[in-house]
Amino acid sequence: MDATTDPNPSANEDAASVTARPAKRKRVALACDNCRERKIKCDGTKPVCSPCKKRGERPTRCVYTVISGTAKQISEQEYITSLQKQMQDMQLVIDQLRKEAEQGTANANANANINRSSKSPGEPSTAHILPAQRVRVPEAGGPSPVSAMGATTLNSTLNSRQDEFFGQSSVHSLLREVSHPDRQRSSAPQRDRDRASASFHSKATSLLTAEFALPPRQVADQLLDLYFGNVHIFYPWTHSAGFRRRYESLWTSAGYPGPHLGDAGDIGLGGDQCSASSFFCALNAMFALGCEFSDLPQKESASEMFNSRMKSLLQIDILDKGDLSHIQALLLVGHYALSGEYPIRCYNIVGLACRIAMGLGLHTERHADQRSVTENEVRRRVWTVCMTLGRPPVLQMTDDVLVPAAVDDEFIRTDAETCVQPEGTISQNLFVVENIRLAKILGKILASIYWPSSSSDFSALVRLDSLLEDFRTSLVGVLRWWDVETDREHGALTYRDHVLRRQRNVLHARFLHLKILLYRPSFSAFCADARRSRQRRDTGSGSDEVAFLTNTLQSAFQAQCATTCVQVAYELSSSLLAAREGEATGAWWFSLFYLMTCGGIIILAECAQAGRRGKMPAREATWSICFS
């Protein structure tokens, strides 16, 4: 097209001139030494700039030198130094981890050889190691991005679960809002994937150590059945169906699957998010408790072996970040301590479990609508066990947490939205519901009668005695120990019938023990007055007005309370004897505790009545039962 037909010839000329004009050279922050000496423009290309490349200069001649002492040089040098320091630290960590891994493998092989050569023939085998021996299992815990004061210390992802530990008033909660100013505070913890992904980058533990060894399959199955048949029926703090599924996986080629995400949420032991250390710690505790009910020839040594493994797995790392499986493992360890001579250890372990439980929010129903049915049920069971295993006076039981449902574990499915016990099938967990009611009365007795600031007046005794009587009359039919018909006289007892029979006997014993606790202070005061009166009478310092029992309302009430206390001790010892004869008892250490209580009551009663009256039949019968 020529100029005569071009509608805008000047525009084309301008465009052509712009195209022909050379592009401006970019300014560079630093020129190479060679170009600066020649005083020519340098484009700053590295490793060799364009002018030096055209002249054929060697790369060693094209050098960039930063003027010493300038802020630019100092900043760049500090940055380079910090990078070098980080690389050195990372290399040291890698070398240390490689060294520990090599030493761990060597020690595991050496221990395996020693165990094979030194194990006695009668000792349960511990050489069965999981098939997945070289898998490293991620553990819960590790350094937290939150300090002990609730302030964020590490630049890492702040997941909403930390709010359950530090609360909405903590600095951590404030910084969560600062990090996400456009997000409103959620009333429920977000179920993100941070829980599992964080655990996969946490501290790992090798499965090659002796703590992860299993006894022979036959022995392991027997001990686990003994645990579930003697402990779980009274303290169902685990989801037995889920736990047994995980237990069965130990005997497969895949081994323990390790923590991973699941739709059921965090159900603790046996759940998808349970770490190997927590699971095996609990498993060894179950084995140790099972030994207490077994007839193994060397059950004491076997129980001590499982106890040693259990303690080795119960590391202080659980304090870094507790979860539901940690609480359950602690409760199992504390329950095992009841069978030994470590009451203070039991008390402290249960206290630690209570503290972690409160940190996880088990003491409230907050966010319950965001959790699965199975997770809610397990959380409620664990919290009620924390409150009934020896610490009701410290942390008062309230109605903030719903009572666990009276539904057996096989009907609490992880894929269901509700849990319902089938009609016509009596739940074994009815005992748990009634035991919680009894534990609340125990807390009131301890707070009203035994607490230092309490005043044990007669009105409190009458009120608490009425609570116990209301509990007795409102029991469900299958747990009423006083009007239950003879258990299937004309037919064999089923397993469920036998469990309910044992639960009735245990509930009866606990009910009677609470009555002894209620009347014991008045009984002790009556015995003390009787001893003082006898001493004054023996020394001749007393007057006729001071008699063994003065005619006052207070003394009459104390005498009646003392008589009731002795009578209840007789009933308790008789119920324990009947349960033993019917082979329907609870744990032997609870029975021993009750018998010692009855024996102490009888001794005090004998001392108070020495030389005044003939022996009462109830006292003689109670004394003979205690020593039978």
Asked whether the predicted pLDDT for residue 202 surpasses 50, the reply is no
Please give the average per-residue pLDDT across 359-385, as a whole number: 87
CB 558 within 8 A of CB 525: yes
Strands in 162-297 per DSSP E = 204-206
User: Which pLDDT band, with edges at 50, 70 and 90, does 126 fall under?
Assistant: very low
CA 390 to CA 347: how far, in whole Å? Answer: 7
User: In the structure encoding, which two tokens stand for residue 459, read together?
Assistant: 């009105």
Residue with tokens 């645990």: 227
Residue with tokens 């630049």: 155
Query: Side chain identity at 245, as an amino acid letter?
Result: R
> What pLDDT digit, counting tens, does each position of 31-48 carry?
888 888 888 888 888 778
pLDDT at 14: 52
User: Which pLDDT band, with edges at 50, 70 and 90, does 260 fall under?
Assistant: low
Bridge-based pairing state of the strands 204-206 and 136-138: antiparallel
pLDDT greater at residue 394 or residue 317: 317
Please give the average per-residue pLDDT across 156-174, as a whole number: 47
CA 175 to CA 23: how far, in whole Å? Answer: 50
Alpha helices in 412-494, H assignment, sequence order? 430-445, 458-473
Extents of the domains making up the chain = 25-65, 72-111, 216-425, 469-626
Please give the average per-residue pLDDT across 233-243, as a whole number: 89
User: Which pLDDT band, with edges at 50, 70 and 90, does 64 fall under?
Assistant: confident
The angle formed by the CA atoms of residues 339, 341 and 342, to the nearest 5 degrees, is 95
3-state percent helix, strand, coil for the chain, nearest multiple of 5: 55, 0, 40
CB 240 within 8 A of CB 377: no
Q: Which of 83-87, 114-118, 387-391 has the highest mean pLDDT?
A: 83-87
The model's pTM is 0.67
Asked whether the predicted pLDDT for residue 5 surpasses 50, the reply is no
**Helix crossing, 373-388 with 324-338: angle to 10°?**
30
- How much of the chain, in percent, has pLDDT values that exceed 90? 14
CATH number of this structure's domain 25-65, picked from the four choices 2.40.160.10, 4.10.240.10, 3.40.50.920, 1.10.3720.10: 4.10.240.10
Query: Side chain identity at 611, as an amino acid letter?
Result: G
pLDDT at 503: 93
> What DSSP character marks residue 128?
B
The rounded radius of gyration (Å) of the Cα atoms in the chain is 37
User: In the structure encoding, which two tokens stand for residue 152, read together?
Assistant: 């964020």
CA dihedral 519, 524, 527, 533 (to 10 degrees): -120
Can the peptide bond before residue 47 be classed as cis, meaning omega within 30 degrees of 0? yes
Asked whether the predicted pLDDT for residue 175 surpasses 60, the reply is no
pLDDT at 222: 94
User: In the structure encoding, which two tokens stand for residue 428, read together?
Assistant: 């074994």
The angle formed by the CA atoms of residues 556, 557 and 560, to the nearest 5 degrees, is 85
CA 584 to CA 503: how far, in whole Å? Answer: 8
User: Which pLDDT band, with edges at 50, 70 and 90, does 508 fall under?
Assistant: very high
CA 615 to chain centre: 50
Q: Which of 5-14, 118-127, 311-320 bottoms out in mean pLDDT, i.e. has the lowest?
A: 118-127
> What DSSP character marks residue 158?
-
CA 530 to CA 401: how far, in whole Å? Answer: 46
CA 262 to chain centre: 19
Q: Which of 155-169, 188-202, 559-573, 574-588 bottoms out in mean pLDDT, i.e. has the lowest?
A: 188-202
> What DSSP character marks residue 449?
I
User: Which pLDDT band, with edges at 50, 70 and 90, does 293 fall under?
Assistant: very high
Average pLDDT over the chain reads: 75
User: Which pLDDT band, with edges at 50, 70 and 90, does 230 fall under?
Assistant: very high
